Each structure stands twice: as structure tokens, then as C-alpha cells.
Structure 1
Amino acid sequence: MLDFLPSPVKGALSFIGYLLNTICLTVPLILTSILKSIIPFKGLIVLLDKFLIWIATLWISINGLNCDLFNKIDWQVNGLTQLKKKDWYLVISNHQSWVDILVLQKIFNRKIPMLKFFLKKELIWVPFLGLAWWALDFPFMKRYSKKFLEANPHLKGKDLERTRKACEKFKHTPVSVMNFVEGTRFTPEKHKRQNSPFARLLLPKAGGIAFVLGSMGEYLHNIVNVAIAYPDGVPTFWDYISGKTKQIIVDVDVFPVNERLIGDYFNNDGYKQQFCDWLNQIWQEKDKKLKELLFYDQPDQSPAWSGQSHVKKLKN
């Protein structure tokens, strides 16, 4: 434990550790992925997929050791005993910082199948990580604005088609499909701009997870609902690696995927309304949970941002 070092030194050494780990393990990832793409034997492809996941798991494990070496974080994590290593999961979470990804990877590593995120297409250009995500079959999505689709109607539905193809890849090996339902990181400015009815959350977007459930409902057995709270304030990546983050609280709730959660979100108005109502209820409960987690030792303290008392219907 090197927590005694000054914050700038801890941050610099920790960053070097993350960088070296990423560079060293990205190289075998890419080489293995290229080999997988040219080999015609399905059995060998399955073995190479397992090897790719093993490399990624090792990368996450080393990052976890790096965190523990330079940081003395009080981790308060509840609900992990409900999870299994060999199962299909849809993981949904609130989103406040890029640190959320490191937190989720650390707490779920070797407890559920590796998390796979839907990423913006532009992220493939991130040095080393972009190629690593590509090698691990992370789906890269290109989202079109409503205005752009009006000008280019032939592209309507292309993003859903890409999602469908991505989900097809997930049906052969247990996987945890990760979705930040708000679609972006929470900030007070975004919260105010949305006029969000939730105190600590942005409006959830139902279309993405509804489509994943519709495409993979027969495989996805459970939904993992995660609430992440930072009592010291939402950290930046530098805060996290330099020892400024002292406590992280994570609450995990698991519930089964049932028939009511599977349907055609884009063509069945009845199912769409039912799904939106269900997600609104989940988000209401998550908002209350975050208040409990943040102020569990300060019951009389008011919330940081006050929301409306009602829940708005979601829009796609």
C-alpha cells in the first residue's frame, strides 16, 4: 500500500501502471483477434474467444491491483452474492463519471461474465483501448439525430440494425451487456436542462435496453440494477488514481427477466407504454436508493438537487 505518497506522485505512478498494463495486453488481444478472423474452424474460434476474455479479465484484475496499491478506498458493496459467473446479464446503472466504468469492472470482475458496452463509433480511435474494444467484439454504434434522419431517410433504422447484429454475437458465450440508461453522464447542467423529475438522475432512455431485451430475451436471464454513489463527490479519473476518492458505495439488485419485459418496443404502443412505466418505476426507486446511500449517516441532510414529486412519461 503506497497511500502515504503525495497525491501527484500516486497519480503519476498509478497512471503509468494503467498505461503499461493497457499497452502490454492490447498487443496479444489484437494478434489473437486477427488470428480468429482468418481461421475457419468454429471450435478453434471458440477457444480463441475464451483466450481473449481471459486477457481482458487479466487486464481488469491488474487495474484493480493498481487501484488498491495507490488508494485506500472504503468500498461499500452490497448484493454481489446473488451473481453467477456463467449466466447472461443485462447490467443497468446510473452514470456520473468515467470512473463508473472502472468501478463496475472492479466489483464485477470474475463474478459475472465480462461487461460489454455499446460504444460510440468515434471511440474506436482511442489509443490502444479502441483496438482492444474492437478485438473483444464491443459493438460500436453510430447514432443519427432526428434532423439528420429527416434529411437522410434511407438511414432510418440503421442503428437498430447494428444493435441487432451486435446482439447476435452475444448469444454464443455468456456475457454481461452493460447499458448506462441515461445515455450520458449526470451533471447539474444536464439535469436542469432536462427538467428531470429525479433528484440525482437524468431521464432514462428506454429504447436501447428494450431492444436488447427484445433481441436477446431468450438468453438474458437476469437484470443487474446498479446504483453507484460517491459520498466525497463525483471523482474525475485523476481523483480516482491519485487517492482523492476515499469512499465508493455500490448497491446491486438482481431480478429475473420475465415475459412482460420482452416485446416490440418500436411497433407495439401498448408494450412501449408498459416498458416505459416499468423503467420509470426502476428509476424512482434508484433515486431513493441514491439518497439513502449518500446520506445514510446524515439522515437530516437535504439532497444535493431537488427533483419534482412526479415521474414523467419517457420519450424514445
Structure 2
Amino acid sequence: MPVLPGALRGITIIVGLIGITILGGIPLVPASIIKLVLPAGRARNRANAALLGIAKTWARSANGLILGVSGTRLHYQQQMADDPDGRYVLISNHQCWADVMLLIKAIDPRLPFPRFFIKEQLRWLPVIGLACWALDFPFMKRHSRAAIEKNPSLRNDDMHTVRRACEVFRRQPVSLVNYAEGTRSTPAKRAAANSPYRTMLPPKAGGTAFAVNAMRDVLDGILDMTVAYIDTPEPKFWDLLCGRIPEVAVRVRYLAVPAELADGDYGADPEYRDRFKTWLGDLWAGKDTEVAAIQDPKNPRRTFKDLSAGVHHA
């Protein structure tokens, strides 16, 4: 395929993604209706399997288009054994919209297909919203601090959402993804949050803790994913689509649930809550140091430390 100019690459990918999404919506709608009307049981499980197959086909097609046209190379480092049938909570940093697609590309099919904590507003997007509902994505309301102060009962909305979702995922393989920062990290957001990190926002422990607590008896562990855009301090999705970000490094590693976090109630136990926040903050500090080094054009670092497992390229 001839190399296209940058903006033309981006436009080509966007048009292609729209087409792939429309085509994916054709089987998605009837499969979702079947799931809606069927009672729990074998038939509904088959509908779920069909929906998951549609989602995987869409994601693989979309990633093939994005990486094929943009020319971006993905350096993927997996520091654990393949386990597509496991149940995991996956935490990751979040810098631009490309993170979502790169995450799916990195772990599928080696690890369970991901489900994301997503904003309630995305429920109403054509095709995408239906797909998220059909795949049991947890829709998070994320009330503002002012709204919670006015109505304290709102504080528990997202906790109940996580618990309901985890009841579903207890019965199937899953990588339940939580972008712990709650939003994409940008210089303006880091300044507004007075972030102590160079590339990340302070992590919010609640979503991760609620998921770990709700699934603790079936959880196979935590997946720690870190994404770094090589030599690109401030990555943007459009720049990646246009081929202006030639390389991205992604690491996934297995973390056992620490013993001090294995038992406790994040919502009711202040000491447990402090321990969880400390653990996540320490993890975040290490991730930030590595991402900052890889994304610094003046630094020779090109990948993550601890090359204890194979490195895959895409």
C-alpha cells in the first residue's frame, strides 16, 4: 500500500472506522435483542458468545486498519503467561483515545477480552452504546463533588454499578478495565489537579478497589498495563492516526492481590482504604517514571524494564 500524507491517513482511518462500525452494527442489533428477551440460561449464553465474537471481529478489523494505515508499530511486552480464560481487574494509565484500541490489540487473544468502566453518556451513542450495553460494560455516572455534597446518597451509585457488573463477570472470563485516573491525562488536567506525576493524574482507588473486593473469591489477579508513546511527551489520537507517532510501547504484567488488600471493605474501612490508596499511589509513581523516560525524545529509553518475557511487535 502506498504511503499516504499524514492528514489523508487520518481521514482514511476515520472513514474506514465508520464503515466497519456500520457493518458491525448489522449483526449486533438482532443479537442484542435476542439477549434482551432471553432468560438466563444456555440460550442466553450463546447470545453472549455471539456478541463477544462480533466485538472481537470489530476490534481486530479496526486495529488492523489503524495500525496498517498509520504505520505505527506496537512493541508489546507481556510479563505473564497467556490466560484467556482468567478473571482479572486491569488497571492502566490513560493519555489519549488511542489507548483503548491499543489495549485491546495488546491483550486479545492472549488474555480475556476487555470490558471497560465507561461514562454514562456513552450509553446513547449509536451502535457503540448498544454494543457496550450488550457486552455488560459498567456505565459509571461519576457525579461531581458538588452534586454529592448536595445529595450524599449519590456517592454509592458507582459502587453499586461495579458490584452489579462483577456479579456478571464472576461467571465468565474477563479483563475488567479501570482507567484509574478517571479521564485522559493532559498538561492542563495535571496542573488543575496539582498532580505529583509528570505524565499521569493522581489515581482514584475506588473503582479498582470495589472491583477487587466484589470478585476477590474468583479473581485470578490484577493486570497492570502501562502505555508509553515513544519520543512523544503529549500524545494525541489524531497524531497517531496521521502516522506522526511511529512507535508505542505497551507492557502488561501480572500482580497478585497484595495480602494486605485481600480482605477489607473500601467503602466502610478507613484503614483498608488508606492501604489501598498507598499501594496504588506507589504503583503509579513507578509507572510514571518509566513512561516519562520513554516519552522523552532526549532519553534513549525505548521500552520498559524487566524484559522477563517475550516482546511482540505489531
Same fold (TM over 0.5): yes
Separation in structure 2 between the aligned mates of residue 174 and residue 70 of structure 1, nearest angstrom: 32
Amino acid at match of 1:276: K
Q: What's the CA shift for 1:80? A: 5.5
Contact 1:191 1:202 in 2 (8 A): yes
Contact 2:88 2:219 in 1 (8 A): yes
Aligned with 2:217: secondary structure?
coil
Counterpart of 2:84?
85
Structure 1 position 34 matched with structure 2 position 5: no
> How is 1:46-85 mapped onto 2 (pairs within 5 angstroms)?
46-79=45-78, 82-85=81-84
Amino acid at match of 2:289: K
Q: What's the CA shift for 1:34? A: 1.0
Amino acid at match of 1:289: E
Q: Which moved more, 1:279-288 or 1:156-165?
A: 156-165
Q: What's the CA shift for 1:140? A: 1.0
Q: What's the CA shift for 1:294? A: 2.9
Aligned with 1:116: secondary structure?
strand
Say if 1:149 and 1:297 are closer, same or farther in 2 by CA, change over 3 A: closer
Amino acid at match of 1:11: G
Structure 1 position 168 matched with structure 2 position 167: yes
Counterpart of 1:274?
275
Say if 1:236 and 1:127 are closer, same or farther in 2 by CA, change over 3 A: farther
Aligned with 1:157: secondary structure?
helix
Counterpart of 2:247?
247
Contact 1:30 1:135 in 2 (8 A): no
Once the two structures are superposed, what CA deviation does each residue of 1:87-107 show, in whole Å capped at 9, x if it has no partner? 011111111101111111111
Q: Which moved more, 1:233-242 or 1:59-68?
A: 233-242
Structure 1 position 121 matched with structure 2 position 99: no
Separation in structure 1 between the aligned mates of residue 145 and residue 4 of structure 2, nearest angstrom: 50
Separation in structure 2 between the aligned mates of residue 144 and residue 241 of structure 1, nearest angstrom: 32
Q: What's the CA shift for 1:281? A: 1.2
Which blocks of at least 5 consecutive residues in structure 2 are unaligned? 302-314
Amino acid at match of 1:184: T
Contact 2:231 2:294 in 1 (8 A): no
Q: What's the CA shift for 1:14? A: 1.7
Counterpart of 1:237?
237
Q: What's the CA shift for 1:82? A: 2.8
Amino acid at match of 2:66: C
Please identify runs of 4+ aligned residues in structure 1 that moved more than 4 A. Answer: none
Identity of aligned residues (%): 35
Structure 1 position 257 matched with structure 2 position 260: no
Amino acid at match of 1:132: A
Q: How many residues align?
A: 299
Aligned with 2:104: secondary structure?
helix
Counterpart of 2:308?
none
Say if 1:30 and 1:284 are closer, same or farther in 2 by CA, change over 3 A: same
Contact 1:57 1:110 in 2 (8 A): no
Separation in structure 1 between the aligned mates of residue 92 and residue 259 of structure 2, nearest angstrom: 22
Q: Which moved more, 1:97-106 or 1:217-226?
A: 217-226
Amino acid at match of 1:180: Y
Q: What's the CA shift for 1:257? A: 2.2
Contact 2:223 2:255 in 1 (8 A): yes
Amino acid at match of 2:135: L
Structure 1 position 217 matched with structure 2 position 228: no
Amino acid at match of 1:174: P
Separation in structure 2 between the aligned mates of residue 199 and residue 120 of structure 1, nearest angstrom: 25
What TM-score comes out, normalization by structure 2 length? 0.88
Contact 1:139 1:163 in 2 (8 A): yes
Contact 1:181 1:206 in 2 (8 A): yes
Q: What's the CA shift for 1:62? A: 0.6
Contact 2:231 2:297 in 1 (8 A): no
Separation in structure 1 between the aligned mates of residue 17 and residue 273 of structure 2, nearest angstrom: 42
Contact 2:230 2:245 in 1 (8 A): no
Say if 1:272 and 1:25 are closer, same or farther in 2 by CA, change over 3 A: same
Which blocks of at least 5 consecutive residues in structure 1 are unaligned? 301-316
Say if 1:122 and 1:10 are closer, same or farther in 2 by CA, change over 3 A: same
> How is 1:268-307 mapped onto 2 (pairs within 5 angstroms)?
268-295=269-296, 298=299
Structure 1 position 226 matched with structure 2 position 221: no
Q: Which moved more, 1:29-38 or 1:95-104?
A: 29-38
Separation in structure 1 between the aligned mates of residue 125 and residue 150 of structure 2, nearest angstrom: 30
Aligned with 1:82: secondary structure?
coil
